[in-house]
């Protein structure tokens, strides 16, 4: 199997081109490939497939073998792969995901892709759309949640996948590895959840760390950055366009007047190989 290795802000993926033939796999194959000691090593696997409703279809397989609806860093990598490997000559393309059809726009300077801006669509805020249980059907904003005997305040957002945003005083020092799994598997989240621990540094700058559902601590999460920006705005903490500083790099996120969230960031190929 031929593959390429990609990263977006340190969130890394094995990308498999399935445009011509399907890759038959099971969860054990995914876990083996993503293992950083015995496999290639990645936060997940991206599959690029044909689509009946868009230019391409993207599937996201988490490192634990489960499948995610959407991946913000992953979709930027897929968009650049399609451009760099000659699958498209367009600067703007459509990609079908489990969260619907999204629209990445390639930022090209001097013939080279320098970044990707993605229309991530509208955030879903109703509790039943995320989903989160025990908080009614409306928005869950600055609501209490008890984890490991401690109460936190959470704001829940779906960007096609579930997110629980916790604002903290010091993101760098927060013990994310100790509590992340307990958030992910909390009974309030029937489909589990991604959890962002965010420190607002000023009205245009957030420092964020993430525990990803199915992948544990990662260097970045694109949908998580979008959810964090939306949560900060809902809580009156920032302006509608913010820089999100992650462990692996920076993303710009804007919750625009048309209610769509736009994310801009890098996508880079690391190497290619054969498995």
Which residues are annotated as catalytic? 71, 221
Identify the sign of the CA torsion 177, 181, 184, 186. negative
DSSP state of 138: S
Q: H/E/C letters for each residue in 41-61?
A: CCCEEEEEECCCCCCEEEEEE
Measured distance CA(5)–CA(19) in Å, rounded: 17
Q: Both tokens of residue 123? A: 């955030």
Residues whose CB is less than 8 angstroms from the CB of residue 20 and which lie 6 or more positions away in sequence, other chains included: none
Do the beta carbons of residue 167 and residue 153 sit within 8 Å? yes
């Amino acid at each position: 199997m031929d593959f390429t290795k990609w990263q977006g802000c340190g969130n890394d993926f094995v990308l498999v081109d399935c445009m011509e033939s399907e890759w038959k796999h099971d969860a054990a194959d995914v876990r083996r490939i993503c293992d950083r000691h015995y496999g290639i090593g990645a936060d997940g696997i991206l599959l690029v497939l044909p689509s009946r409703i868009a230019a391409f279809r993207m599937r996201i397989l988490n490192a634990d073998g489960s499948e995610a609806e959407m991946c913000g860093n992953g979709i930027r990598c897929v968009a650049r792969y399609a451009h760099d490997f000659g699958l498209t000559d367009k600067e703007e393309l459509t990609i079908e995901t489990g969260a619907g059809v999204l629209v990445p726009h390639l930022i090209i300077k001097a013939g080279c892709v320098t970044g990707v801006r993605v229309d991530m669509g509208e955030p879903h805020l109703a509790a039943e759309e995320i989903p989160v249980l025990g908080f009614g059907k409306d928005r869950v904003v600055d609501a209490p949640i008890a984890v490991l005997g401690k109460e936190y305040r959470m704001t829940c957002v779906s960007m096609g996948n579930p997110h629980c945003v916790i604002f903290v005083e010091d993101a760098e020092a927060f013990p994310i590895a100790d509590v992340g799994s307990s958030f992910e598997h909390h009974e309030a989240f029937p489909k589990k959840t991604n959890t962002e621990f965010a420190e607002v540094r000023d009205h245009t700058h957030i420092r964020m760390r993430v525990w990803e559902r199915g992948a544990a601590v990662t260097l970045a999460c694109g949908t998580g950055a979008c959810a964090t920006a939306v949560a900060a705005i809902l809580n009156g903490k920032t302006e509608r366009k913010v820089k999100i500083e992650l462990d692996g790099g920076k993303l710009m996120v804007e919750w625009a007047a048309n209610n769509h969230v736009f994310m801009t960031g890098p996508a880079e190929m690391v190497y290619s190989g054969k498995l």
